[in-house]
Amino acid sequence: MKNHTKINHKAKIKKMQLSFSFDLTNNFDMDDEVFLVHNIIEEMNLSFLTSAYSHKGRKPAVEPRTMLKVLVFAYLNRKYSARDIEDACRYDLRFRWLLNNNKTPDHVTINRFRNKIYPFMDEILKQLIDLLIEQGEVDLKSIYIDGTKIEANANRYTFVWKKSIIKYQARLIEKISEYFNINDELSKGDLKKLVLKEFNNVRNICKSKDIVFVYGQGKRKTEEQKRYELFEEWLNKLDTYEKHLEIMGERNSYSKTDHDATFMRLKDDHMKNGQLKPAYNIQCATNGGYVVDIEGFSNPADMRTLPPFVNNLLQKYGIKINRVVADSGYESEENYLYLKQNQIEAFIKPSNYELKKTRKYKKDISKKENMTYCKADDYYICHNNKKLNFEKIIYRKNKYGFKSESRVYLCKDCLNCRYSHDCIKFKNKSGLKRIYVAERFENLRKESEENIITKEGITERLNRSIQAEGIFSYIKSGMKYSRFRHRSMKKIVAEMKLLSFAINIKKLSNKMKSNKLGFVKYKEAI
């Protein structure tokens, strides 16, 4: 037999001494973003972070200010996973410098800290904007608003629709009413009380008779058991439907995985067929190229987000805001009126702005814009020189409680008109032409349109498309953040504020490197 060389696996490995410079700043450029992150956060008042920690027990291994630096710098470098941040803290020299010889935090500590600062992210972002205002980088005279939809961290197929719930609820109520032979309409609460009363009666009868419930094939249920199970099923369904409707609120749907997420149609659909996905409507306000504020909404329509979003800005910054620039998705009478009441100029593109320029629109005789209006006698003259006289005023109230009014004008000589086919496009019993004029809305729209067609208005619109739309493009493409990693509205909003903080630092750093500090508009009107 051949002799095999024995290997001693327990042999001691010689330790090697490596030369290493303990001055970490020598290993990266002095204009690196790490210094800017450090300096800005050092100047901030973060005393409120102490409330996030218990006064009992041990002090945190890494102080909150240092952890915030690490987290912001990680997001600036597109590191969102707690494990990726942990690895960076362990091996990246810049992260090691931020830690200042502190123990490397593990992913659990990082996640725990991130959850602790989420309630304070609004104040943290505001302090940065206040600093940028002091430095002349932001002036808040013009706020550029835009919205986008970002997919939620939720199952795409666990959705609940309001219409379906209402339909099933109505069917069940009808079935219960028929069972008890109820002719009068009872409220949902009274109907539930009736079912509960009968359920308790049947349960007491079963107990008094010592009825043993049976299940399975070949077993015959008693009438009492059948009634017990029927009432129990009805009660469970009534509770379920009420819970679904309570969670939805004013929305039309929600996800079972993330109750705050609403199903919306996204442009970047993974199936490329318009499939709905659970998402959040993210609204962003920019100025000077910086993210001034960012919020999340469950309503997919941008129109409904403007008043609460701007109101939040006013509470933070007050009378500094002079004008709001937004696209046609934000146009509504309610939004115009809200801005006017708060003494803010509206630079909102009307939804029919481009349509009015087309030849088809100008030749459409059914439009009131193509009719002649006699202001003295308050009537319109149609294409066939017939009068549309004032008929009445109608009032409308939307589901959110906003009231609007419209003046109705009627032509009583349309039956034998040769243009009636082109003029009356919507079928009505009378066969007469009616037009509806919302004076307040049209006056507010006209003011906004006059604002956007000026030289200054053109400049504002150009800046909005570059700044507001550019931010979302940078978030999704530049920062590689196209899907949320957390659930619930509070967490995703805080996450976006943290990301916006990092983006603002990046923007400031780039301007410092190129020596272009100061407030500038990206594009001037030609």
Q: Which of 362, 382, 365, 361 is nearest to 373 (CA)?
A: 382
Q: Looking at the structure, do residues 99 and 172 belong to the same domain, yes or no?
A: no
How far is 244 from 162, CA to CA, in rounded Å? 8
pLDDT for 271 equals 56
Residue at a domain's end among 405, 421, 439: 439
pLDDT for 245 equals 93
Per the CB < 8 A criterion, the answer to whether 261 and 279 are in contact is yes
Q: Looking at the structure, do residues 114 and 191 belong to the same domain, yes or no?
A: no
The number of folded domains in the chain is 3
Q: Looking at the structure, do residues 435 and 383 belong to the same domain, yes or no?
A: yes
Q: Looking at the structure, do residues 62 and 113 belong to the same domain, yes or no?
A: yes
Is there a domain that residue 467 lies in? no
Is there a domain that residue 236 lies in? yes
User: On the CB side of 7, how many CA atoms lie within 13 Å of its CA?
Assistant: 1
Collapsed DSSP state (helix, strand, coil) of residue 435? strand
The β-bridge partners of 149 are 281
How far is 145 from 297, CA to CA, in rounded Å? 14
How far is 35 from 30, CA to CA, in rounded Å? 7
pLDDT for 415 equals 82
Per the CB < 8 A criterion, the answer to whether 333 and 444 are in contact is yes
Is there a domain that residue 211 lies in? yes
Residues ≥6 apart with Cβ < 8 Å to 445 = 331, 336, 350
Domain extent, residue 34, equals 24-120
How far is 31 from 38, CA to CA, in rounded Å? 12
- In single-letter form, the type of residue at position 127 comes to Q
Per DSSP, which regions of 273-331 are E strands?
Answer: 276-287, 290-297, 323-326
Opening angle at CA 205, ends 201 and 209, nearest 5: 175
Collapsed DSSP state (helix, strand, coil) of residue 238? helix
How far is 421 from 414, CA to CA, in rounded Å? 10
- In single-letter form, the type of residue at position 112 comes to R
Q: Do strands 323-326 and 379-381 pair parallel, antiparallel, or not at all (unpaired)?
A: unpaired
How is residue 35 written in tokens? 């210094």
How far is 510 from 411, CA to CA, in rounded Å? 64
Collapsed DSSP state (helix, strand, coil) of residue 434? strand
pLDDT for 419 equals 86
Residue at a domain's end among 439, 467, 501: 439
Per the CB < 8 A criterion, the answer to whether 60 and 102 are in contact is no
Is there a domain that residue 205 lies in? yes
Collapsed DSSP state (helix, strand, coil) of residue 337? helix
Tokens 């359920």 map to which residue?
199
**pLDDT means per 10 residues in the chain (526 residues)?**
51 45 56 87 87 70 88 93 92 88 88 91 93 90 92 88 93 89 80 90 89 85 88 92 91 90 78 76 93 92 91 86 91 93 92 89 89 90 90 87 90 86 76 89 92 91 90 90 91 94 92 83 55
Is there a domain that residue 379 lies in? yes
How far is 198 from 317, CA to CA, in rounded Å? 59
pLDDT for 21 equals 45
Residues ≥6 apart with Cβ < 8 Å to 253 = 159, 160, 161, 162, 262, 263
Is there a domain that residue 300 lies in? no
CA distances from 148 to 56, 61, 264, 282 (A): 43, 39, 11, 5
Cβ atoms within 10 A of the Cβ of 407, count?
15
Cβ atoms within 10 A of the Cβ of 1, count?
3
Q: How far is CA 296 from the centre of its chain?
A: 3
Is there a domain that residue 305 lies in? no
How far is 316 from 312, CA to CA, in rounded Å? 6
3-state helix, strand, coil in the chain (%, to 5): 50, 15, 35
Collapsed DSSP state (helix, strand, coil) of residue 520? coil
How is residue 125 written in tokens? 């972002």
- DSSP string of 358-401, one letter each residue: SHHHHT-TTSGGGSEEETTTTEEE-TTS-EEEEEEEEEEE-TT-
Is there a domain that residue 325 lies in? no
Q: Looking at the structure, do residues 236 and 165 belong to the same domain, yes or no?
A: yes
Residue at a domain's end among 418, 439, 460: 439
